Amino acid sequence: MLTIADKTFSSRLFTGTGKFSHQQSMVDALAASGSQLVTMALKRVDMQNRDDDILAPLIANGMNLLPNTSGARTAKEAVFAAQLAREALQTNWVKLEIHPDPKYLLPDPIETLKAAEALAREGFVVLPYVHADPVLCKRLEEVGCAAVMPLGAPIGSNKGIRTQDFLEIIIEQANVPVIVDAGIGSPSHAALAMELGADAVLVNTAIAVAGNPVAMSRAFALAVQSGRMAYEAGLAGQVQQAVASSPLTAFLEEA
């Protein structure tokens, strides 16, 4: 079981509501994923006619919404968005995303730390989306973040775990859960993140744009379980020289 702040999760696959071609597809995929934490962007329209209405059955079933501050370009905007979300969705959890650059949507380390500190002080459970920067992750932990969410690759790229060297250091040093976010494009990527010792992964695009989002959700759920199980079972390292898995048959000489 994974614990973040006051909640425990039996599923280590976190998901999102973006990019699905239609709402029913989203709902079915989220249900199939078994995910208990689902991030969603807050838009004005949500205030009246919210995506989370359609999510009500899932929420009744134990799924938690994680509002994110996507679109915020500064700490100030992000803090404001988090406050609105708290009011609208009745949750003090927030996925902190600050990306001034509209092309690659990469997170701003300075504004993210500033907002994280302010939000933690206000009692938010802050999960910041950041570059796979070990020093920054440490500092976010120190200002009170409940977890850190370093990226695997640029968001939406499906490129997988391109930051492995740095994720390994982050995982080694962290005292809060590490959730690999962004870039995970296939179940093998999710499994790898878990094998490295990540506490959870967040997958959205790869499910939403799959040929069959429901089946892809299930595939990711299995991969996350698999990677965690392998991490706990103890993976052997890589070796240079071959070691036969079949003992060399001596029977020919001996026969």
Amino acid present at 17: T
Between 5 and 156, name the residue whose CB sits nearer to its own copies. Answer: 156
Among 81, 94, 116, 145, binds its own copies (CB under 8 A): 81
Q: CB of residue 16 vs its own copies: minimum separation in angstroms?
A: 5
Residue 8 annotated as binding site: no
Closer residue to its own copies (CB): 6 or 53: 53
Among 50, 83, 92, 195, binds its own copies (CB under 8 A): 195
Residue number, 60 or 255, with CB nearest to its own copies: 255
207-246: contacts with its own copies (CB under 8 A): 208-213, 215-216, 218-220, 222-223, 225-227, 229-230, 232-246
Considering the rule CB under 8 A, would residue 249 count as an interface residue with its own copies?
A: yes
Among 49, 138, 174, 197, binds its own copies (CB under 8 A): 138
150 binding its own copies? (CB under 8 A): no
Q: Does 86 bind its own copies (CB under 8 A)?
A: no
Q: Would you call 95 a catalytic residue per the annotation?
A: yes
Annotated binding site for 1-deoxy-D-xylulose 5-phosphate: 156, 182-183, 204-205
Annotated binding site: 156, 182-183, 204-205
| Residues that are catalytic | 95
